[in-house]
Amino acid sequence: MIWNPRDLARDTVRRQGAGLSAVQVAAKVAEAAARKRETREQMDCALVDRGPYATDPRELAELWEARHTEWCRVGTLVEASSWTSYDPAQDDQGTSWARERDTRRQGALQRHEAWVRERQDAKDEVHAQVWLSADVSRRLRAIAARAGLSAEQVLAQLAGQARMNDDSRVAVEAFTLSTGEDTYR
């Protein structure tokens, strides 16, 4: 799951800010302001050769902008609440945002797990293309038409009933084609 710069900044500030005094938070605000200014200057520079592993200056600028905003919010909260240090558990807004991020993360994980299960189930399925002679094809289509099924549905039910004997011969006992919707998918 990809978080936006605000999510990253909020998570970082909650972790780094725990236990910091108002003076230390003010230092973090000043550091974030300086980094924000530096990344904006880098963004304005036309660097031709950044290399394949260089960070995108716009992304870095957005991240420091978000961190600066979050450190300012935490600084204001610590000052207004007269706390001796920042405690993320007492920060109602920060806790609410953290819960939202966790909810989104859990949703993304559940969707991914469902996708993985779906892919695993798909591995167990067989999709076959069968070429039949004209005579066999006509008989199959006639059987399918009488049963109100498609030729593929008849073949799927036929394969479901087929058994291999000890002498390696394939046998199918007489059975009635099912027209139920849940029989063939």
Q: Encode pLDDT of 51-76 as tens digits.
A: 666 667 788 889 999 999 999 999 99
What average pLDDT score do residues 156-163 get?
93
The pLDDT, as a whole number, for residue 179 is 84
Instruction: For residue 31, count other CB atoms closer than 10 A to its CB.
Output: 14
The pLDDT, as a whole number, for residue 123 is 77
**CA–CA–CA angle 91, 6, 53 (5° rounding):** 135
Measure CA 22 to chain center: 38
pLDDT tens digits along 8-42: 999 999 999 999 999 999 999 999 999 999 888 87
Report the alpha-carbon distance of residue 32 to residue 15 in Å, rounded. Answer: 15
pLDDT tens digits along 87-96: 999 999 999 9
3-class secondary structure, 163? strand
Query: Model's pTM, two decimal places?
Result: 0.59
pLDDT tens digits along 71-125: 999 999 999 999 999 999 999 999 999 999 999 999 999 999 999 988 887 777 7
Instruction: For residue 61, count other CB atoms closer than 10 A to its CB.
Output: 21
For residues 70 and 10, the answer to whether their CB atoms sit within 8 Å is yes
